[in-house]
A and B are shown apart, each in its own frame.
Chain A
Amino acid sequence: MRPVQSWKWLTLVLVALATVAPGGLPIRPAAAQGGGTLVVGLDQEPPTLDPHASPSAVTYQVIASVAENLLYRGSDGKLVPWLAESWTVARDGRSVTFKLRRDVKFHDGTPFNADAVKFNFDRIVDPKFKAGGSRAALGSYAASKVLDEFTVQVLFETPYAPFLNSVASGVLSIVSPKAVRESGDAVHTRPVGTGPFMMKDYVAKDHATMVRFPGYARKAPWSDRTGPALLETVVWKFIPEPGTRVTTLESGETQGIYLVPAQSLPRLEKDASVRVEKLPWPGVPRIWLLNTTKPPFDDVRVRRAVNFAVDKDAFLATVYRGTGLKAFAPLTAVMLDDPALRQAYPFDPEKAKALLGEAGWAPGGDGIRAKAGQRLEIVLNAIEYGGGADPTAPLIQSSLRDVGVDVKIKAQARPPWSEDNYRCATHGPVMFLRSIDPDGLWSLFHSSQVGANFNWSCVKNAKLDGLLADGRREADPAKRRAIYLAVEKLALDEALTVPLVDELAVWAFRAPVQGVKYNFNAYPVLSDATIRR
């Protein structure tokens, strides 16, 4: 073939084609919109914004300033009035009476009153309604009685002390009965509440927008200011890819993001134009539930040895890098903290080795201990997320190898993982649980929950059952604390679990964004937030 003279025009075409798209477009990402609009990137899209239908935390991250609750629980953990002015718990613990505010209207103009509260709670227990986390939060709910227009009594079949904490949690927030009855499918994208913001529009897989509710004339419980929200608009963008999410914050396309990936955290923390905020999650930390029925974990000495052998500092340094704190007990420290819990299992490989020796597991030839010709092998059930198994699994594996335990990681997808847990088939999984009341431990440790809920330690212990039942009945906060401290001490003494990491909810905002506050659930409330120009 001869050289081609006309390649020049072809080159022109090529260059034109290659550059016409990316170049020359006069679009810049929404740059710092001081005053009006805050754009926040979230790691996932809520399955629904209906607070009663959602099983997912992301719903409540979005609507924490849209729908309000009878009570409010701030990051200090104290219960204060919100839509209810006061509340009284009956002496038998089987009912709570709320005196409601009289000056509250829903965003659709309908009045908030005792009928609305009754409608909301009855809706959740309606067998025709597919409730999310809200159903469990109502426990043994029997009915609501409207005593007068602004007084409602909530009744329970059996005393249910966790209710006061639940009623302050997003799952039991109050929405407009009229909107629920009349809005059809929109109930999933436009919940109508009473809060300082109201939902405006929702574009699936893209964003949800909420705007200031001009009629908000009260003082929100987290604020020292009366009146509507300061920001005009908040846009929640759904950006599942962590790298992209961080980039949008750095470029100014968003002014805030949730779930900062551990590998980007050091960079953002050094960046003066960004502020990182870390909140402790209430609930159960990332924890290894030890299957107490499967040998050798039927021997408490082996379970204790494992607790002494796991090097949690290594987890924090290698995987978590500032997005978690060392866990000591089956409840995170923000739920219940006590020196006795912190001292239970320091990292002590020598003690672990001694305990294993005591249990009859002698050092073997290949570095793995053995007893009666059997190697000391443990099967750790781990979720395979696609990019690899739960990152704590290989760390547990290497820690335990140092004391002569061979950990096999059974990495699998979530459905078979759950199935194995229910059947108590492995030596237990690593899991976590978000819960705002210590009663969350019921699902972990009550004997009725083996094969039914999260009792994947497969433990049946009458003393534990008794304490957990007491905790459900006891209304006095100090006494409740003592009960759950006893539960935790017992769980540690029996070594039912290996608490690993108290994970933190990590948010990052551009420096001009000020005044973001958080409730006890670690969800942001935004009525006092501003963007400085």
Chain B
Amino acid sequence: MLTYVGRRILAVVPVLFGVTLAVFSMLFLVPGDPVKIMLAEFVTTPEQIAQMRAQLHLDEPVLKQYGRFVTNALRGDLGVSIRSRRPVAAEITENIGSTGQLALASMLVAIGLGVPLGLLAALGRNSWLDVVAMVVALLGVAMPSFWLGFLLIFVFSLHLGWLPATGGGDLPHLVMPAVALGMIAAAIIARLTRSSMLEVLGQDYVRTARAKGLGRASVIVRHALRNALIPVVTVFGLQFGNLLAGAVIVETVFSRPGLGRLIVGGILAKDFPLVQGTVLFVAAAYVLINVVVDVAYAYVDPRIRIG
């Protein structure tokens, strides 16, 4: 198991290297002089432009710049935001909580909705229950999160007045964004759980469990579901990336603070250090979460770490 974990972690290194390279080259791929673009909103003197160029070390050879970028990033120094003039790392720390909360809550929605829905569909295969569950799943995948977000606001804020449409913080502010964001993942997990469950239910060990005289619930939950969920774990990790991407939209629709809005604001303001730092952070988080998922996968399915 340890070797497996070690190998997985080692495999991360080249990926992260590629990420830093991609993020770093952003600055050079944009047409025009990056400093002029960054300062376009401000009235600047040539001295200030020169000072900015020096501050960003743009006057040095590219390789040296890249080296500095990577070593600084390793020490947690992601530069200083142009617009807010605060360290990018501080901006990220300030917003990570809110996005983490949202990601976690929407994952709960995804699992809490997706697994039971898929399970019901599998157990009642070809019944009305199956049809209803899969139509719900289809709608969930087909509905863009911003559209679902508006629908939720329309119903629960405007007409029923149950939930606030905007802001961050406590549970009431979290419910609608989490549902809007978790719906697509819920739908995917539902479909996956269904097909995986159908496959498992046909296996010999399930028949054996039944033959032993175990109760129906026990067979389904302890024997079938546990095995059926293995592929779901992998998708969970991949979906996490989608959740981060979706957070950009959902946080804007619901005016929630968070990394998504930080990135959008940074892009609109041409705040290169902020965008670079945040994208780098999100990419690293995504990679690390997938390592954790891989390890968890190995834990639930011994065949992985042995093979």
Contacts and interface: CB of A to CB of B under 8 A. Distances in A.
Nearest to B47: A127
**Which A-B residue pairs are the 9 nearest by beta carbons?**
A205-B257, A27-B172, A55-B41, A14-B116, A419-B32, A17-B112, A4-B123, A239-B255, A415-B37
Contacts of A414: 40, 270
Interface string B147-187: 00010011011100111111111011001101100000000
Contacts of A416: 31-32
B31 A418 contact: no
18 contacts: A1-B198, A4-B123, A4-B124, A14-B120, A22-B162, A22-B179, A25-B171, A48-B85, A127-B47, A132-B42, A132-B43, A205-B168, A206-B167, A244-B165, A247-B153, A247-B157, A415-B31, A415-B270
B236 interface: no
Given A10-B120, A17-B113, A203-B257, A247 B94 contact: no
B10 interface: no
Select the residue from A9, A133, A253, A414 with max chain B CB neighbours within 10 A. Answer: A253
A248 interface: yes
A250 B157 CA distance: 9
Interface string A75-94: 00000000000000000000
Select the residue from A48, A55, A203, A205 with max chain B CB neighbours within 10 A. Answer: A205
B164 A253 contact: yes
Interface stretch (B66-74, B226-234, B261-269, B276-284): B261-269
**Chain A interface: which size bin?**
35 or more
B201 A1 contact: yes
Select the residue from B158, B220, B262 with max chain A CB neighbours within 10 A. Answer: B158
A107 interface: no
Contact of A47 (B83, B125, B172, B262): B83
Contacts of B37: 415, 418
B191 interface: no
Nearest to B111: A17
B42 A251 contact: no
Contacts of B163: 22, 25, 27, 29
A207 B165 contact: no
A372 B115 CA distance: 71
Contact of A418 (B40, B175, B256): B40
A415 B119 contact: no
Given A244-B255, A251-B158, 15 more contacts: A1-B125, A4-B216, A6-B220, A25-B162, A29-B163, A30-B164, A47-B269, A135-B43, A204-B94, A206-B167, A206-B169, A240-B252, A243-B253, A253-B157, A415-B270
Contacts of A253: 157, 164-166
A127 B45 contact: yes
B113 A6 contact: no
B167 to A, nearest CB: 6
Contacts, number: 167
Contacts of B125: 1
B166 A237 contact: yes
B148 to A, nearest CB: 12
A205 B263 CA distance: 12
Nearest to A4: B123
B167 A131 contact: no
Interface in A394-411: none
Contact of B42 (A9, A21, A130, A248): A130
A232 to B, nearest CB: 20
Contacts of B43: 131-133, 135-136
B273 interface: no
B158 A7 contact: no
A300 B172 CA distance: 62
B179 A206 contact: no
A492 B291 CA distance: 65
Nearest to A453: B43
B51 to A, nearest CB: 9
B122 to A, nearest CB: 8
A25 B161 CA distance: 11
B124 A7 contact: yes
B166 A248 contact: yes
B195 interface: no
A7 B175 CA distance: 27
Contacts of A240: 252, 255, 261
A29 B157 contact: yes
Contacts of A28: 161-162
Nearest to A412: B31
Contact of B257 (A55, A130, A204, A419): A204
Contacts of A201: none
A45 B265 contact: yes
Nearest to B198: A1
Contacts of A53: 85
A17 B112 CA distance: 6
Given A6-B220, A17-B113, A47 B162 contact: no
Interface string A236-256: 011111011001101111000
A185 B270 contact: no
Given A237-B167, A415-B270, A130 B48 contact: yes
